[in-house]
């Protein structure tokens, strides 16, 4: 067998320093590091940037959602028909309040659907709300998770198929979809699906109806703080609210709606029929709750 000269294995001190410098540099560089690298704008991967999105980034994410949801249909930006309100900076990324105000479109049109979109979330469309045109709800309030600096958008679709949009720029730390639940999963399971209504008188002789649902709305990105294992996805994906025999609202929702979902809307003050809520989740559970509007719902 050929002998290897030990001199061949020796490396000078400057050579060793160079080798170790290269190794250390390689270990500490982020993957695919490049001075020209731009954030990946795919809807799933944008969450990795933890809030470092610009308005241009948000717009690029929105274009993908817009194409999949509305195709090439024209969308009119106009606050006269729909207006969204949300804090400019989120206090809690996992529970960001959103209020959508609706006004009757011109002519004989009605608003049939409202879409709620958080551009940079892994599931951008938080909810699609189908409204009873006879009731013409003027307000829908809820709470969403926000996974970074992003626009939150509300889009109204009229009975004639016209789309109106309003948006609000919101800053957050970018952990809305990965923030651990407020309580452990066992406690959530004890209260899973429990619902209640709350009614409050408003200044304009209407009443605000709030539906609260106890549910973890797990995203699949949260970790159990004891086991450090990921908690499986499990969230409310469908909600209906009935007033007597009439359906007021049907909502198709995703985990972009916050833990313990809450929905609030307005009723005329003289509405006294029974309110019924039906909710379904991604594991096939069906929950139901009823109470008359004349009852003390506090």
Give tens-digit pLDDT for 226-284.
Answer: 888 999 999 999 999 999 999 999 999 999 999 999 999 987 666 668 999 999 999 99
**pLDDT score recorded for residue 99:** 97
Q: Using pLDDT thresholds of 50, 70 and 90, give the confidence band for residue 29.
A: very low
Closest CA to 126 of 293, 270, 273, 254: 254
Contact between residue 154 and residue 101 where contact means Cβ atoms under 8 Å apart: no
Between the two ends of the chain, the Cα-to-Cα distance in Å is 90
Average pLDDT for the chain? 82
Q: How far apart are CA 205 and CA 271, in angstroms?
A: 11
**pLDDT score recorded for residue 200:** 85
Q: What is the mean pLDDT of residues 129-151?
A: 91
Residue indicated by tokens 């001199």: 7
Q: What is the mean pLDDT of residues 162-168?
A: 97
DSSP notation for 23-69: HHHHHHSPTT--TT-----STTGGGGGTB---HHHHHHHHHHHHHHH
Q: Using pLDDT thresholds of 50, 70 and 90, give the confidence band for residue 225.
A: confident
This prediction's pTM: 0.80
**pLDDT score recorded for residue 1:** 45
How far from chain centre, in Å, is Cα 99? 13
**pLDDT score recorded for residue 49:** 44
pLDDT digits (tens, 9 = 90+) for 47-65: 444 555 799 999 999 999 9
Phi and psi torsions of 55, nearest 5°: -65, -30
């Amino acid at each position: 067998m050929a002998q290897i000269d030990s001199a061949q294995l020796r490396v000078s001190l400057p050579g060793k320093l160079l080798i170790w410098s290269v190794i250390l540099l390689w270990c500490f560089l982020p993957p695919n590091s490049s001075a020209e690298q731009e954030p990946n704008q795919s809807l799933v991967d944008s969450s990795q940037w933890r809030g470092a999105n610009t308005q241009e980034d948000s717009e690029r994410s929105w274009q993908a959602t817009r194409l999949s949801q509305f195709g090439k249909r024209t969308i009119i930006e106009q606050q006269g028909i729909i207006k969204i309100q949300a804090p400019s900076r989120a206090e809690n990324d996992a529970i960001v309040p959103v209020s959508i105000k609706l006004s009757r479109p011109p002519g004989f049109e009605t608003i049939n659907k409202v879409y709620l979109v958080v551009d940079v979330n892994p599931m951008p469309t938080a909810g699609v709300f189908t409204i009873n045109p006879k009731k013409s709800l003027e307000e829908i309030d809820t709470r969403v998770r926000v996974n970074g600096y992003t626009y939150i958008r509300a889009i109204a679709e009229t009975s004639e198929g016209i789309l109106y949009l309003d948006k609000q720029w919101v800053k957050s730390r970018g952990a809305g979809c990965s923030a651990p639940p407020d309580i452990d999963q066992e406690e959530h399971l004890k209260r899973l699906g429990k619902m209640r209504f709350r009614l409050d008188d408003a200044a304009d002789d209407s009443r605000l109806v709030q539906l609260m649902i106890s549910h973890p709305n797990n995203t699949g990105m949260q970790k159990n703080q004891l086991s450090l294992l990921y908690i499986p996805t499990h969230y409310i994906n469908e909600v209906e609210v009935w007033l007597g025999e009439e359906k007021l609202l049907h909502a198709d929702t995703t985990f972009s709606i916050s833990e313990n979902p809450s929905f609030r809307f307005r009723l005329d003050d003289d509405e006294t029929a029974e309110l019924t809520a039906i909710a379904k989740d991604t594991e096939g559970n069906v929950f139901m709750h009823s109470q008359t509007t004349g009852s003390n719902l506090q």
